[in-house]
Structure 1
């Protein structure tokens, strides 16, 4: 999506094809980076003459935070994450990079803890935080009217895994039903992996949470 003022880009990055998103306001020349699997996302910002204002994490797994440290080293931007997932940034076993990466991932920087109802603003962009634990204890989604960045909470006709450490299946289903399914049906869902979907479509066809309202 690109308008005269706003830019929204999706880039599948890293070995697991994690969807990294950039949403930016060209008037102020700044952008928010969501779940940077690698620092390759910075090339997209340069293409649109945007400077990163902050990194927003939906959760702390290694395939979503792999590029954070490189970006912070270059731009010293804050990292937004729920307090329950802050430990994942410094613990390769929690963030799973101890098992899946050639190099273990640890992140240091300016941490901004988020809770439901917080607003993260970048020019004309105003993202509201929704707490959606289950995939991890501190999973969150970022919503603005018309779209939601869902991380690994909700996928196209699927949901996030809960067999990792601290995952909880029932909690994840409750998060989807009580948080994401309260959004308007036409809301576009931009997930952490795979193609986009819509809230209304998932209510009807998602085999894990369809109709469970």
Structure 2
């Protein structure tokens, strides 16, 4: 597996590039802004963008999606409960964040437990509502990209439409924490952690 982080935009969102060693195809997780920077990084890794997987529909995680779709025909994956908001610029905050209407079509609507294959890689989709109704975490190998559900020593906001404090706590404790303690957490913002550290040190849990 080939893996890189590119932190983008004024909100410091983490975009993750996950590449297949076999096929040199890349999955882009949450390309939130700065298309040219992400694209340049992918090229420097010798990869070709194949799919985009979104952890949720908020503008700071989707701002460069349209550029990748236009240039590469990249397919867009998002949980079925976030697909409608992804296609509505008022709901996905792109108008307020970027002054630009972005109504993005979901090519594939995901469900809990879905698996996406890319070369030798298998991405497991874990539905973790709480930040949004259709928020997901994405596990591949020993890493998990947690979007805005679980951060290093924190959790995602629950005061947006579709948010729920009770749901996010349940998602973390009953979904994320069932995986191995050594699983590395790569969140939507800030630095990585592990499930073990979050169980031990996260003040919200």
TM-score (norm 1): 0.92
Q: Deviations over 1:136-158 (max 9, x none)?
A: 00001111231101000000000
CA deviation after TM superposition for structure 1 residue 55, in Å: 0.2
Q: Which residue of 2 aligns with 1:28?
A: 23
Q: Deviations over 1:1-30 (max 9, x none)?
A: xxxxx3100010111010000010132111
Q: Deviations over 1:159-198 (max 9, x none)?
A: 0001111111101110001110001000000000000000
Q: Which moved further from structure 2: 186-195 or 73-82? A: 73-82
CA distance in 1, matches of 2:68, 2:96: 23
Tell whether 2:161 aligns with 1:165: yes
Unaligned runs of 5+ in 1: 1-5
Aligned residues: 203
CA deviation after TM superposition for structure 1 residue 93, in Å: 2.3
Q: Which residue of 2 aligns with 1:95?
A: 92
Tell whether 2:70 aligns with 1:65: no
Q: Which SS does the other structure have where 2:125 is aligned?
A: strand
Q: Which SS does the other structure have where 1:88 is aligned?
A: helix
Candidates 107, 112, 119, aligned match of 1:116: 112
TM-score (norm 2): 0.95
Unaligned runs of 5+ in 2: none
Q: Which SS does the other structure have where 2:55 is aligned?
A: coil
Tell whether 2:184 aligns with 1:188: yes
The 5 Å alignment of 1:200-211 reads 200-209=196-205
Q: Which residue of 1 aligns with 2:76?
A: 79
**1:26, 1:50 within 8 Å by CA — same for their partners in 2?**
no
CA distance in 1, matches of 2:28, 2:95: 24
Candidates 12, 15, 31, aligned match of 1:17: 12
CA deviation after TM superposition for structure 1 residue 119, in Å: 0.9
